[in-house]
Amino acid sequence: MHIKDTLPELYKIRRPLKVEDVRKRLAEKQGKEYWRSLEELAASDEFEELLHREFPRQAGEWDDPVGRRKFLKVMGASLALAGLSACVYQPPETIVPYVRQPEEEVPGKPLFFATAMPHAKGATGLLVRSNEGRPTHVEGNEMHPGNLGATDIFSIASILTLYDPDRSQTIQNRGDTRPYTAFLADVRTALDTLKTKQGAGLRFLTETVTSPSVAALLNQILKALPQARWHNFEPVGDGAAMAGARLAFGQAVNTIYRFDRADRVLALDSDFLAATPGNLRYARDFIEKRRVLAGKAEMNRLYAVETTPTNTGAKADHRFAVKPSELETFARALAPMLNVKGITAPSGSVPHADKLQAIAKDLQSARGKSIVIPGDYAPPVIHALAHAMNDALGNVGQTVVYTDPIAFGPNDQLTDQIEDLRALVNDIDAGQVEMLIIVGGNPVYNAPADFQFRERLKKLNEQKKLTAHLGLHFDETSEWCLWHVPEAHFLEAWGDARAYDGTVSIMQPLIAPLYRGRSALEFLTAFTDTPEKSGYDLLRDYWRTQPQMSGDFEHTWRRAVHDGIIAGTAAKEKTVALNTNWASQPAAASAQTTGGGQFEIVFRPDPSIYDGRHANNGWLQELPKPLTKLCWDNAALVSPTTARQLFNLGSEEATATYKGIEYMAPVIKLSFRNQTINAPVFIMAGQPDGVVTLHLGYGRTRVGRVGAGTTQQPVGFNAYALRFADAPWYAAGADVKTTGDTYQLVGTQLHFNMEGRDIVISKTLDEYLHHPNEKPEIVREGASTQPEEGTTRPLGEGIGTEKHEEPGPNDTLYTGFSYNGYKWGMVIDTTACVGCNSCIIACQSENNIPVVGKEQVARRREMHWLRVDAYFKGLAENPDGVYFMPVPCMHCENAPCEPVCPVNATVHDAEGTNNMVYNRCVGTRYCSNNCPYKVRRFNFLLFQDWTTPSLKLMRNPEVSVRSRGVMEKCTYCIQRIQNAKIDSERENGRQVRDGEIVTACQSSCPTNAIIFGNLNDQASGVSKWQREPRNYSLLAELNTRPRTTYLSALRNPNPEIQGT
Amino acid sequence: MASIDPSQDDVGIHVTPYPVIEPGHTFGSVTDKISSLTLKRRTPLGWFIGFGISFAFANILLFAIAYLVLTGIGVWGNNIPVGWAFDIINFVWWIGIGHAGTLISAILLLLRQSWRTSINRFAEAMTLFAVSCAAIFPLFHTGRPWLAIYWLFPYPNTMNIWPNFRSPLMWDVFAVSTYATVSALFWYVGLIPDFATLRDRAQSKPFKIAYGILSMGWRGSARHWARYEKLYLLLAALATPLVLSVHTIVSFDFAVGIIPGWHATIFPPYFVAGAIYAGFAMVLTLTIPLRKFYGLEDFITMRHLRNSAKVMLATGLIVAYGYMMEAFTAWYSASEYEGFMMKNRIYGGPYWWAYWLLISCNVLIPQVLWMKRARHSTVVLWIISLVVGVGMWLERFVIIVTSLHRDFLPSSWAMYRPTIIDFATLFGTIGMFVMLLFLFIRFLPVISIFEMRTILPQAEVKEEEA
C-alpha cells in the first residue's frame, strides 16, 4: 500500500481550523479511528493555530526563549500544552477502584522493572522503580555483568531527562509542527526515487550502535538498498582502542580486564574507575582487591600515568603526570623492561625514568596477575604497547581477555568512525548524498571542527535534499535538518543493548512515550516495507530469529525481560596473535603536533554531562565535578606552575580572585590551527605543566533552558571548536594568550586542603599493619561502642588504660539512651570511594532534591544532601594523593543541631536517627550554623519546581517536597527504613534483616563504599565495619558521637619508589 | 542660654563640676521650656526634612521585608555555612543599643545618679525604638515568619507541641519580649505625670483629649505621687537585672554553639559591656544634635556628655579585654580549630579587614576619650560615638560571619557577601528608628519635666532639709 493512500486528508488542508470543523470531523470518525484522529489533530499545524486562538497568551510564550535559570520557576510556557500532553501520559485519575487491576499493581507500592541504559561504551543494567506507572528512581541491576547493581550518574539522572519539559515534543518540518504521517509520506516518496538507484544517495548517520536489533534493521535496509550507506560517528568513541587493536592484532577487538584477578595495575592514561567501558564493574573488582577488611590485609597496587588528573589517578598508589607527547616515550621506555619484544627504549629523556625499574619489577612480580590498561583516549600506539606489555606479562587469558567488538557496524564491519564521517562529508561535497538520516547524535555540535558539519547540512538543505534528525531534544543538528522527529527516551521504548562484555539486555518501557517519541528502531523501520511496525514487534521479531532465544521463545523472552539480561550473550573469549611490525616505528606521531604554539591540549568528555548529550539535565549540570568541584561550567585546567607563568605571578599569588563571593577566573584565549576559543582557567593540582585540559560537552546553543547558554549567560564554552579529526584527544602546538577578562566559575568546594586537620585519615598499608589503631584509637571507641546502654560510666574510669589522657566520649555524667530496638548506623570506606558522584545523584533522585542554578551555587546554596569532598595532599604541583570523602548527615548521638532548634523541628528518634520535621521547621538556620559538618541545606528560595507538570510525575511520592524557608538534610533514606520495617512487621514482627534496607547512596555505589544497617545487630555488616580498627569518627573531638563513621584511607605504595 | 566654655573646666575647679541643669531655671521655666517643644513651638522645617528622610528609609524597610517574606531568605546574602549574617548582626546590634536606656533609667536611678534625669526619658525612648528595630529580626530572619510568629511561644495547643526550651533562640524570645514589655511600661509610667502637664497646657482639643487619655487621670495628688514613686522604683528594680540578662541571653545564641569563635564563656559579660558601650554611643550620637537644634544645652549639659563618655571609655575597655581574652583563650586552649579561627580573623582570612576595622573603631580610636579636651568637645564626642556604633556593628559581623565562614571542615568553607536587600534592611531599621525618634521629639516631652523640677536647686534644698 502506498503511503499516500493512508494519508488522512487532514493535514493537507491549510486553512484555519475551527472548533466546529474539528468536532464535525471527529464526529465522522468511529471508535479507534476517532482517537487516532484526535491525536493527529493535536500534532497538526491547524491545531497549533487553533491553540493560538484558544490560548493566545500562553501559546505565544511557547516559542519565547525563556531564560535558562527560569527553568525551575517559570513553567508557564509549558502550561500551554500541559492540558493536552496530560491526556497523553498522565494515568487516568479515576475515583473508582480498578475494574481490572493491572497485574501486581498495588497502589502505594512501587514496582521494579529491569531495563538498561544504552551507551556507546556498553549498557548499564538497571532496575527502575515505578510508582503507579511513573518511573521515579533508577537503581542498578545486580544480575547485569556491567555494573553488578551499581549505577553511574548518567543512568540515575536519565529520570530527569525523561521528564525534561524541554524535550522535543513534536515532529517538525522547518519549524512547522507536522504529523508523523507527513514525515512518512515525505520519506516514502523520496525512497521510491532512491529505490530505482538501489538506494544510492541514501545515508544513515548513527552514533555507535550497540543494539543488535537496530544494527540488524540497518543492515537489512542496506541489504535491500545496497548502494545506501550507514555511517557511524560517536564524539567520544573508541576509535583509538580499535585502531590500537588493529595495530597489535590486525583486527578490531574488545578488551575486557579482570581486575578481580589483578594484583598490580598500570593505567596508561586510563580512567578505568570512572570513564571507560565497564568502569562500574572494574571499579567494583578493583576495590574488592584492595579492601582491607575482616582480617584480610592485602591490597593491589595501582600505578597511574596521566596527562590530566582523573579519579583513577586520585586513587592510585603512585601517580605520574606526563604530557600527552611524553606518554608514548614513557610506555616505550617501560616496555623493554617488561621484556616486550621488538621495542627498543627511546633515546633521550624519559619522564619519571628513575621510577621505571621499580614499576617494571613490581609488574613482573605479578606475572599473569597484573594489568596494563591503556586509556580510551590514548593514541593507538599506546593501546598496541599495552597489548604487547600484557602479552609479555602473561596476562592475556588471565587478567586480560579479548573478544569481538561489542559495537556494530555496516555489514557487520566496524569502521573507523572519524574516517567514516569524513567519507560522508566528502560525499556531501561531491553531491552524492540525496537523503541524510541522522539517527540520534548531534554532529553539528560535536563533529570535528574541520568537518564543518553545519555547513555541509546547510548545503544539503540548499540543494533541497531530504535531511531528518531523530533526537531527544531539538538541538543544533535539528535546526539544520528538514525534518526533526522526537526520539523516545530509553525508558519509554522497547530496545536492546549490549554491555561492555557483550551481554545483551532487553530494555522495556516503563511509561508510554510522554511526547509520542519514537525509538531508533521504530524510526528506522520507516525505511523498510513495514514503516509503522511497533518497536515491540520489531524487537521480538528480531530476537525470535536469534539462537540465544531458540526453544520456547515466550519463556526465554519473559525470562530475559524480567532479568534484564539475555543469558549466554556475553561475547566469547577470542585468541589473537600479536603483531610486532608496528613496534619499530619511531616514537611520538607527528600528525598531532601541527600547531604553532607551545601548549598541548587534552580533550576529555565532561565528567558530569559527558559529550554534551546531558547538557539539559539540571542534576548533572549542578553535580560538582569529581576533582574540580565546579558545576554549570567547564574550564581550561592548567597546572599551578603554568598558571603562574601565564599570568606572571609570584609563587604566593593566587590566579583567580574573589569578588565578594564570586570566584573570578581569568580568561585565556586558546588557539589551535585556525580555531580560537576563550576559556576560564581553573588551576588543577597534579596537571602536567604546559598542558591544558578541556572538557567537551559545554557551550551548547540549542538544547533547552538548562543547557543552552546565551552570550550574556553562557553555559561553559564549546571545546569541540578546537577538536580536529586528526587530533581528537591530544593536540600539541596550541597557543595560549591571556585576555585580561575574567569569568565567574562556581563550585561547591573551594578549599581542597585539609589544613592539617584529621579529616580523611590516611595511611599506607604498611603503617596500618604495624599500628592499626594509632590514630583512630580515641575516636574509634566512641563510634563503635555507644555508651553501655542504660548505664552510666563513672567519670574517669578507664582513662588510665587509654593512651590519651583526654576523657573518652563515654565518660559522661548522663545516662546514655537505651536503643532497645534498632540502632541505625552507616560506615563509609574512604579507601573504597572513587569519587564517582553516583551517590549524590542517587540521593537527589530518591529524595526529591531540587536544582538551584549557577547563581545560587555561587552563593553557596546548593541543596545536595550528600556531598563528596575531595582533599589534596602534598604539593599543589604534584599532589601525593586525592582523598574523597562522601559526607552525608552524621546523625550524631549528641547532635549539635538538636538543642538549638527553638521549635523542636529536628529531633532524635528512638532508633538513633536525627530527623527533620519539615512541617515544624520555621527556618532559623541555627541548626545549620551549629552543625560542624555543614550537611544541612536550607531552602533559601522556592528552589523546588512546584508547577511543571512533568516534573511532578518524577518525584518520589514517599518523600516530602520541601518548600522554601525549610531546612533539610540526609535522613538515612528514612522512607526505605520505614518500608522495610513495615514489611518485617507484617511477617510476624520479625526483625529487619541485615541488608534489607539499602540507602539510595549505598545502592548506587559501584565500590560498596557505603554500608548501612542496624548497630544493635552484632552480626550486621555495619557493626562489623564499625569494629574494624580503621573505623573513626569525623571530628570526634567535638564529642558529637556521629553515627556515620569512616574507615580510613589506605594506600599501598611501592616501598622501592621514593617520594610517596 | 550661654554655651559652655570647656576651658573653664580645664582650670581644674573640680569642686564645681558642670551642673546637671544650668542655673537660673525655675519650676515654671523648666516646664515651659520642655512642654513648649511639643505644644507651643512651631514645628521647625528641619523636623519635616529629617522626618521625611527617615520616613522614606522606614518605607524601604517595609519594602525590603515585604520582598523578603514574599520571596524567601535568599534575597539576602546568607548561605550555608553563613546561615546568619546581617539579620542577627542587626538584631544584636540594636538590642545592644537599647541597653543604655535601661541602664540610665533603672540602674542610675537606683544608684541615685541625679544627672541621669535629663537624658533618661530620651534614652528610654531610644531603648524602646531600638528594641522595636531589633525585634524585627528574630521574626523575619526565619524562613517561615508566618509560623515563627506564634510557634516560638509556648502556647497550649491540641497537638501538645511545645517549643524547645533548651534552645537559646527560645530564651531570646522570652528575654527580648520581657525586655520590651518592661521597657515600655517603665517608659510609659514615667511619662504619666508629664502627660498630665501637657494635658493641662495643651491648647487644641485633639491634643487635650489625646494627652488626657494617656495621662490616665493623673491629678498630681500626694496619693498619686506615692503610688507612682513606688511603682517606678519597682519597675526600676525589675528592669535592672534585665540590663544584664538580656544581652547575656543574646550572647548565649553564640556561646551555646560549638562553632569556634562562638563557643566562649567570656561572651555574657563581654556582650553586656559591649551593649552598654554601644548604647551610650548611641545616646551621644542622638543627644548631641538634639540639644543643639532644640537648644536644650541647659538641661543636657556637658556633664551628661562627659559622664556618658566616661561610661563609654570604661565599657570600651571591658570590651577590649574581651577581645584580648578571645585571642588568649584561642591560644591557651591549644585547640587547632580555635587557633585557626583567631588566625583567620586577624590575618589569615579574607575578612581580616573587618577585624582590624573593629579594633580601630572599638579599641584604638575611643582611647582619645582619655583626654579631657576630647571629652569636652561635642564634635569629637559625636564622631567617636559614631565610630563606636560602627565598631560594635562590626564586632557582631566578625563574631557571626567570620566564625561561620570557615569552621571545621575546609570543604564547606565559603564566602559571604551581603545583597542590596541586606543593606536596605539595615538602613531601613535605622530609618525607622530615627523616624520614631522624630515622632517622639514632636509629640512627647523629650526630657522628664517633673523629674527635672526635682533637680532644681529649689527642690534639692528641700530634700536636704528634710
The answer to whether the bond into B81 is cis (omega within 30° of 0) is: yes
Query: Helix B117-140 crosses helix B45-71 at what angle (to 10 degrees)?
Result: 20
A298 SS3 class:
coil
Cα distances from B442 to residues B34, B48, B188, B402, B434, in angstroms, run 11, 10, 16, 41, 12
Inside any domain, residue B265 = yes
A364 SS3 class:
helix
Of A89, A113, A145, the last residue of a domain is A89
Inside any domain, residue B15 = no
A175 C-beta neighbours (distance < 10 Å), count: 9
Residue A384 has pLDDT above 70, yes or no: yes
**Domain with A891 in it: what CATH number?**
3.30.70.20
Q: How far apart are CA B198 and CA B185, in angstroms?
A: 19
A701 and A777 co-located in one domain = no
Instruction: Select from A920, A932, A965 the Cβ nearest to the Cβ of B258.
Output: A932
Q: How far apart are CA B15 and CA A613, in angstroms?
A: 89
Inside any domain, residue B18 = no
Q: Are A499 and A123 in contact (CB under 8 A)?
A: yes
**pLDDT, tens digit (0-9, with 9 covering 90-100), for A314-363:** 999 999 999 988 888 899 899 888 888 888 888 778 888 888 899 999 99
- Specify the residue for cell string 604530557: A323
A967 vs B: CB within 8 A: yes
Cα B200 versus chain centre, distance: 32
Task: Calculate mean pLDDT across residues A169-194.
Answer: 90
Residue A507 phi, psi dihedral angles, 5° rounding: -95, 125
**pLDDT, tens digit (0-9, with 9 covering 90-100), for A392-434:** 999 999 999 999 999 998 888 888 888 999 999 999 999 999 9
**pLDDT, tens digit (0-9, with 9 covering 90-100), for A588-633:** 544 445 666 789 999 999 999 999 999 999 999 999 999 999 999 9
Inside any domain, residue B24 = no
Q: Are A620 and A737 in contact (CB under 8 A)?
A: no
**Domain span including residue A1023:** 772-1051
Of A369, A386, A403, the last residue of a domain is A403
Residues of chain B under the 70 pLDDT cut: 1-20, 457-466
Instruction: Select from A755, A923, A929 the Cβ nearest to the Cβ of B73.
Output: A923
For A723, which DSSP code?
-
Closest residue of A to B153, CA-based? A903
Dihedral of alpha carbons A529, A532, A535, A537, sign: negative
Q: How far apart are CA B125 and CA A363, in angstroms?
A: 83
A722 and A776 co-located in one domain = no
**Domain span including residue B397:** 36-465
More confident residue, B284 or A63: B284
pLDDT of residue A782: 38
Closest residue of A to B148, CA-based? A922
Domain count, chain A: 4
Cell numbers for B355:
577585624
**Domain with B234 in it: what CATH number?**
1.20.1630.10
Residue A908: which H helix or E strand, with range? strand A906-908
More confident residue, A101 or A26: A101
Strand A504-507 relative to strand A657-659: parallel, antiparallel, unpaired?
A: unpaired
A345 vs B: CB within 8 A: no
Q: What percent of chain A has pLDDT over 70?
A: 84
pLDDT of residue A756: 82
A872 and A1016 co-located in one domain = yes
- Quote the minimal CA–CA distance from A744 to chain B in Å: 14
Cα A381 versus chain centre, distance: 28
pLDDT of residue A74: 44
Tell me which of B412, B422, B423 to substitute to probe the interface with A (most A C-beta atoms closer than 10 Å). B412
Inside any domain, residue B48 = yes
**pLDDT, tens digit (0-9, with 9 covering 90-100), for A479-525:** 999 999 999 999 999 999 999 999 999 999 999 999 889 999 999 99
Domain count, chain B: 1
Cα distances from B37 to residues B107, B175, B210, B330, in angstroms, run 28, 35, 17, 53
A883 vs B: CB within 8 A: no
- Specify the residue for cell string 576529555: A604
Which of A174, A148, A340 is closest to A260 using CA atoms?
A148
Inside any domain, residue A574 = no
Which of A386, A435, A444, A415 is closest to A255 using CA atoms?
A386
Inside any domain, residue A305 = yes
Dihedral of alpha carbons A347, A351, A352, A355, sign: negative
A795 and A896 co-located in one domain = yes
A834 and A738 co-located in one domain = no
Chain A residues in contact with B416 (beta carbon < 8 A): 661
A282 and A388 co-located in one domain = yes
Inside any domain, residue B9 = no
Inside any domain, residue A25 = yes
Q: How far apart are CA A848 and CA A865, in angstroms?
A: 10
Inside any domain, residue B261 = yes
**pLDDT, tens digit (0-9, with 9 covering 90-100), for A108-134:** 889 999 999 999 888 999 999 999 889
**pLDDT, tens digit (0-9, with 9 covering 90-100), for A420-475:** 999 999 999 999 999 999 998 899 999 999 999 999 999 998 888 899 999 999 99
Q: How far apart are CA A121 and CA B411, in angstroms?
A: 33
Inside any domain, residue A978 = yes
pLDDT of residue A174: 86
Instruction: Determine which of A164-173, A667-676, B18-27, B173-182 has the lowest per-residue pLDDT on average.
Output: B18-27
Dihedral of alpha carbons A757, A759, A765, A771, sign: positive
Cα distances from B287 to residues A520, A888, B52, B365, in angstroms, run 82, 54, 20, 21
A394 and A254 co-located in one domain = yes
The answer to whether the bond into B44 is cis (omega within 30° of 0) is: no
pLDDT of residue A372: 94
Q: How far apart are CA A849 and CA A407, in angstroms?
A: 36
pLDDT of residue A650: 65
Inside any domain, residue B374 = yes
Q: How many residues can be counted in chain B?
A: 466
- Specify the residue for cell string 514487534: A537
A673 and A784 co-located in one domain = no
pLDDT of residue A547: 86
pLDDT of residue A1015: 92
For A140, which DSSP code?
E
Instruction: Determine which of A61-70, A203-212, A228-237, B357-366 has the lowest per-residue pLDDT on average.
Output: A61-70
Cell numbers for A459:
548545503
Q: Taking the model in full, what pTM does it have?
A: 0.87
CB contact under 8 A, B80 and A937: yes
B159 vs A: CB within 8 A: no
A715 and A785 co-located in one domain = no
- How many secondary structure helices (H) and strands (E) does chain A include? 34, 38
- Quote the minimal CA–CA distance from A637 to chain B in Å: 20
Q: Is B424 exposed, middle or buried (0-12, 13-18, 19+ CB in 10 A)?
A: buried
For A412, which DSSP code?
G
Inside any domain, residue A781 = yes
- Specify the residue for cell string 560537552: A697
Residue B338 phi, psi dihedral angles, 5° rounding: -65, -45
Residue A646 phi, psi dihedral angles, 5° rounding: -60, -45
Residue A804 has pLDDT above 80, yes or no: no
Q: How far apart are CA A301 and CA A316, in angstroms?
A: 8
More confident residue, A53 or B339: B339
Q: How far apart are CA A329 and CA A703, in angstroms?
A: 42
Q: Are A551 and A525 in contact (CB under 8 A)?
A: no
A743 and A778 co-located in one domain = no
- Specify the residue for cell string 560525499: A427
Which of A549, A545, A522 is closest to A533 using CA atoms?
A522
Most confident listed range (A77-86, A801-810, A1045-1054): A1045-1054
pLDDT of residue B207: 87
A910 and A994 co-located in one domain = yes
Mean pLDDT of chain A: 84
pLDDT of residue A808: 62
Closest residue of B to A862, CA-based? B80
A680 and A609 co-located in one domain = yes
Of A89, A107, A124, the last residue of a domain is A89
pLDDT of residue A203: 93
CB contact under 8 A, B79 and A860: yes
pLDDT of residue A478: 92
Which of A585, A590, A694 is closest to A636 using CA atoms?
A694
Residue A144 has pLDDT above 80, yes or no: yes
Inside any domain, residue A169 = no
A918 vs B: CB within 8 A: no
Q: How far apart are CA A989 and CA B154, in angstroms?
A: 39
Inside any domain, residue A563 = no
More confident residue, A763 or A889: A889
Percentages of chain A per state (helix, strand, coil), in multiples of 5 = 30, 20, 50
- Specify the residue for cell string 588504660: A801
